[in-house]
Amino acid sequence: MANLYRASEPDVLKPLLDRAALDSDSRERVMGHALGLLADLRAAQSKGWVNQFLQEYRLNSSEGVALLSLAEAFLRVPDPETADLLIADKLGDADWRAHAGKSNSKLVNSATWGLVVGRVLVGEGSTGPLRRLISRAGEPFVRQAVGAAMKMMGEIFVMGRTIDEAMKRMRRPENKGFTASFDMLGEAARTHADAQRYFQAYVGAVDAVGRDPAAGHSISVKLSALHPRYEVARWSECVPALTEMLEALAVQAASKGIALTVDAEESERLEMSLDIIGIVAGLPSLKGWDGFGMAVQAYGKRARPVIEWANGLDRVMNVRLVKGAYWDSEIKRTQVEGLADYPLFTRKAATDVSYLAVAKDMLAAENIRPAFASHNALTVATIMEWAGNSRAFEFQRLHGMGDGLYERLVQENGYHCRVYAPVGGHRDLLAYLVRRLLENGANSSFVHQLADERLTEAEILADPVAKIAAVGGKRHPSIPLPVDLFGAGGHRNSAGLDLSDVGTLEAVVAAVNAPLSPHIHPGEGWGPIGGGGLAEDGESSRQTSQLDPGLRRGGTEGLGGGAVAAAITRAHAAFPGWSTTLVDERAACLERLADLLEKHRDELMAICVQEAFKTIGDAIGEVREAADFCRYYAQQARLNLHPIELPGPTGERNTLHIEGRGVWATIAPWNFPLAIFLGQTVAALVTGNTVVAKPAPQTPRIAARAVELAHEAGVPVDALVLVTGGPEVGAALTADVRIQGVAFTGSTATSRKIARSLLDDETRPIVPLIAETGGINAMIVDSTALPEQVVADVIASSFRSAGQRCSALRLLLVQEDIADGVIEMLSGAMETLRIGRSGDPATDVGPVIDQAAYDRLMAYRESVKAKIVKTLDAPADGLFVPPTLVRIGAIEDLNQEWFGPILHVATWEAGKLSETIARVNAKGYGLTMGLHSRIARAAEVIEAEAAVGNLYINRSMIGAVVGSQPFGGEGLSGTGPKAGGPRYLYRFCAERAVSVDTTSAGGNATLLSLDEGGI
């Protein structure tokens, strides 16, 4: 099974194509059945107002997207002011008049006129006649109308707000002959309290359905709803807990005589899911009960092996085959993590092929009772063909979709169909269900194609096997492999590690915890760590040490001023030779260095974990970012550093040359001891400069190894010289008049000192300073935001890397109308964080960098003790600062960056977004800012008004990607240009224009070759 996870798409599809293919006779019969089903579907569309509404407002129209976007957020907005802004945002730009009177349904036309009126109220000027006519009704009228419409949509897609209501609805005439699988659906649990609430909802649902087992209804369970940390890294914690809960539900269901199915999850959870399902399936207490089941997603490359696994269990298993629910997020995750290949198919037709092949396997399996979830007439007809006269299986469809497809089959032909029926409050469920609807309504889906009158029946029912065979099973051309993410003209994406694979994770854990090689040393003149210094940069002596994670070794003195001068002398002498080396050759050195970084990834990760206390995930990111810097700057140098011919009058040649300046000093921080250390350094090198590189005194070993690899890649040993030590070494380095530029990442205070030192000597040339410093980074959350998404992004932004990132979230600003709920959920999510050794894959928050940082942060926590909303217990035997949430009264109460896992939260008033942005801007920092909102206008406002280098909307605020999200601040947060961006290299260069008068040497000879206008 594991060998298919990242296998190439053509290799996986080859046997599936053979399995799914139909002979000509079968194909003819299937088409006949499919055409009949298609007619039934279209007839149903013309009858129900719901179908007509969805047909009128298709998902490929701006109006359809606006309606669904409104539905996703509206019901969770508690305050009228923000609700009105959301309505204006979603209704204001769409052309509702174009739909007026077009539908055959009076109800749809009435709804459309309501939208026209709403558009007038929220989008048109005050002088229009219709606006004047209904101005007395105003926004409250629109708000009430939209609220009623959203609740009506909830009725469409949610079976019932309670299990009793849902079961009652299943007794309506339109559901005659159908059974249901009820799911107490919602977002995945973020807290243990959420998980317990979901568990109790499932218990109640099993009890309710079990009161009438003869009705044939069942329950669907989502494991991610039962544990907030359902992750491979937490396997030892979540798998036993989930197994216990699933066993309890299964035993309860068995005692009631009803069925229970475990829903499918994302691909990285598959092995955990199978482990849990396998244990429960083998329990002696469940022998004789044939109601246990699971869902399998056909878009996954491992779907067939999972069916084989299920068939091999010592019991009959109910298996629901679905096409898949997380396609877009799975694609993005694979790209972001730089994995070898996708775990799923990239073409819709390939998923259809997989579905058919797996369905055929299920029909032939001895120990599987199949259930086929589909709204596709061709898929249904094919399964009917293969099943022949058998009815020993069932079809399934989503509640609210696929009306007309199964009614005739159930009522006249003896087939069984089960409705997947979400149960719960509309406010909680509509957001989730709308996202599922958007996925099911993708342009290539059957549901969407059915509503497109431009498509013929032959096009709608086209054979997926023929489609995939025609392209040789190849991946979709617009979805490149992660390594090629940046395109043919871009740099190669760095390779990541799939930590959801248990074997890979175990190997990585062993590697990063292995003793470091004794040959790794910081080089000439190194004292084991550097001596005392500036607290703001962490350049204080380290009191105790890891390799026992969480502790620090004692410091000794680094290089003296004489050794620094000698290092500069070496680099200065090497400059002429290196600066005249061809740009392509310098770039090739960087690319070889990137390859070496990936070759020695395990070793480099181990040093990051043991010296810088990086967690395993952060250590992977560190190596990848360093490799990305190397490849990106190499590519940029090849594009932009060659001489440029400029225009001018005839008889004159004008050329702009881009050259190195001389010797650069690069001074790196401890929080990104490899990525930033190398990023600054290779940028200076590839532009033709030589470099004296100084790492933070806490992290010399990783820098030393990086320099060794750079030399191995072809950088001359004197073109890149390493010096180590504390602030006295940095001061000696920047004071030397031979330094022609400084690239620094660290505190604002130290940056100021460097800037002053570069100007102290009036005889010294004015040299560039590239400074990247910190910030009081804020995230603004309004009441349209999805709390579960907000909390996940806040946890990552605030506490990952123990809060020791320049970009980390320091100030959370929540609209006061939802603040209590968000803070409660955030507090619960904090309880799931694990504090511990950096080399433990389950660790979320490791130790801070040294004793001085620990003392400073703990003293601050003590000073704000009365304002702490939530904090955790931390191990006592190391430098572990507990994640802490501090409630402050106003934005102005926080005026200093606290570089650790401490988050401050304050509130802001609805309607005052611009004022809130201005108050954050007034602090003078400008590194990162975030916004969570479903209002597009809010995103436009913050984009126009936020004075920050990096703005993140509806996502976390950390993890800037080289080449995609150039990183760097303004104001008190840095000078620019932005690291990892297209303008970064120019700052390291001297530009020299050369103008040559060629008239004295014969003029412009090309003029003599002109056909017209000669002498």
Please report how many Cα atoms fall inside a 13 Å half-sphere around the Cα of residue 786, on the Cβ side. 24
Q: What's the distance, Cα to Cα, between the start and end of the chain in Å?
A: 80
Is 690:571 a contact under the CB 8 Å cutoff? yes
CA distance 401 to 447: 8
Closest by CA position to 385, among listed 644, 22, 692 = 22
Helix/strand/coil for 170: coil
CA distance 287 to 175: 32
Closest by CA position to 685, among listed 705, 669, 665 = 665
Name the DSSP class of 770.
E
Between CA 335 and CA 344, with CA 340 as vertex, the angle to 5 degrees is 70
Q: Where are the alpha helices (DSSP H) in 158-191?
A: 163-169
Between CA 115 and CA 120, with CA 116 as vertex, the angle to 5 degrees is 115
**Of all residues in the chain, what percent are helix, strand and coil, respectively (each to 5)?**
50, 15, 40
Closest by CA position to 846, among listed 585, 559, 551 = 551
Name the DSSP class of 891.
G
Sheet of 811-815, strands arranged across: 868-871, 884-887, 902-908, 811-815, 778-781, 928-932, 950-953
Look up tokens 């061809």; give the residue: 582
Which token pair is 129? 């006649």
Which residues are known catalytic residues? 772, 806
Which token pair is 392? 């020993």
CA distance 697 to 532: 9
CA distance 773 to 770: 10
936 C-beta neighbours (distance < 10 Å), count: 16
CA dist 40 → 34, 45, 258, 427, 460 (Å): 10, 9, 32, 33, 14
Is 926:949 a contact under the CB 8 Å cutoff? yes
Look up tokens 């190596």; give the residue: 623
Q: What are phi and psi of 659, to 5 degrees?
A: -125, 165
CA distance 258 to 217: 7
CA distance 940 to 613: 39
